[in-house]
Amino acid sequence: MFKLEPRPQASRAWGIGSPLLALAFTVLIGVVLLLALGKDPVRGLQMFFWEPVKSPYALGELMVKATPLLLIALGLAVCFRSNVWNIGAEGQYVLGAICAGGVALLADKTTGPWIVPLILLAGIAGGMVWAGLTALLRDRFNANEILVSLMLVYVAVQLLNLLVFGPWKDPMGYNFPQSKTFEAVTRIPRLMTGSRVNIGLVIALAGAAALWVFLFRTRAGFAQQVGGLAPAAARYAGFSSRKALWLALLVSGAAAGLAGALEVAGPIGQLTPYVPAGYGFAAIIVAYVGRLHPAGMVFSAILMSMFYIGGELAQSRLGLPRSITGVFQGLLLFALLACDTLLVYRIRWVGAPQPATARGA
């Protein structure tokens, strides 16, 4: 018989091993799912784990998907380490895209490259304002930030629809609900020809490095983490919980808004109802699979982007439903939650129970 026995302290080895084991369980359950759907599991796994990395172009597309996931996850890591539960990064991402798109629509043939920094700043400002609403309601009225931030996602999506179906609708777009295509001068500079990878990747990696310095080498980062782990100890040390709340949400909103700006002024090139791609929700999984650590989130963002690309390929080549991407993302999260049990418990073999007659003898 097996028994779960509490550990004297959390296992550091399983802190790394748990995500790997969760990935293995996700693959195993995915194979069973593909067999149940009547699909070749080898071909299905190839769509998810080989096709996204088999060529330089595929790797470029992988980085395009990973960039917004990493940026949003970095901001969420600040929130979650501060015990602030921002679940509405998707709304902050959409508001950042709206604000950035509004600035991009002001450009014309005479506009210079100076507008690109303004577009990015507009996206950052939009995300911060949307996250600031959550911070304000939590600070002044003690509203639950989970519910507030989540409900604001739907408000942001409806605001986007209002604009692309209404005043920002392209009059030359054959009645499609989309803005006009942004001028070429507003596009985010690409890193190389023949690939859609742009400077957003560099910004995201720089953000990961900056977050590491902030969390582990600054007093402010230490205060954020103490407030999340032990609020009473943080108050005793003189750390302000209000400051931690505002800092966490504004940083998270800025990162999500920047991701939205990079998307609409980069790969998308216009505002459409399809800007909300679920990155804000998927980034929650990225943050936790990466253990809320900048280095871990770089790898988990790549893994999650493989699920996005693999799901699209499986849909087109294998005839699988569009929801297969979300299924794999959900499987990974639930497998991680289950495997995290091994962080604080260990499995011990206690042997089979003896019969009553043997015990009496």
- Name the maximum alpha-carbon separation found in the chain: 98
* SS3 of residue 156 by DSSP: helix
Residues 6+ apart with CB under 8 A from 140: none
* Within-domain flag for 48: no
| 257-315 pLDDT tens trace | 999 999 999 999 999 999 999 999 999 999 999 999 999 999 999 999 999 999 989 98
- In which domain, by residue range, is 359 found? 1-39+321-361
Q: Tell how far CA 98 is from the center of its chain.
A: 19
pTM metric for this prediction: 0.93
**Tokens 């600054």, located at residue:** 218
314, 328: one domain:
no
Rounded Cα gap, residues 129 and 249, in angstroms: 10
109 belongs to a structural domain: yes
The DSSP-derived string for 272-324 is -TT---SHHHHHHHHHHHTTT-HHHHHHHHHHHHHHHHHHHHHHHHS---TTH
Same structural domain for residues 117 and 249? yes
Name the domain count of the chain. 2
CATH, residue 78: 1.10.3470
| SS3 state at 167 | coil
Q: Which residues of the chain register pLDDT less than 70?
A: 351-361
The β-bridge relationship of strands 345-349 and 2-6 is antiparallel
pLDDT for residue 354: 61
Query: Which residue type occupies 319?
Result: G
Q: What is the DSSP letter of 74?
A: H
**Is residue 334 located within the same domain as residue 236?**
no
* Residue 50 within a domain: no
Residue 278 belongs to a domain: yes
- Return the pLDDT at 12: 85
The length of the chain in residues reads 361
313 and 327 in one domain? Answer: no
Residue 175 and residue 172: Cα distance in Å, rounded? 8
Tell me which residue of 172, 104, 97 sits closest to 130, measured CA to CA.
97
CB 94 within 8 A of CB 264: no
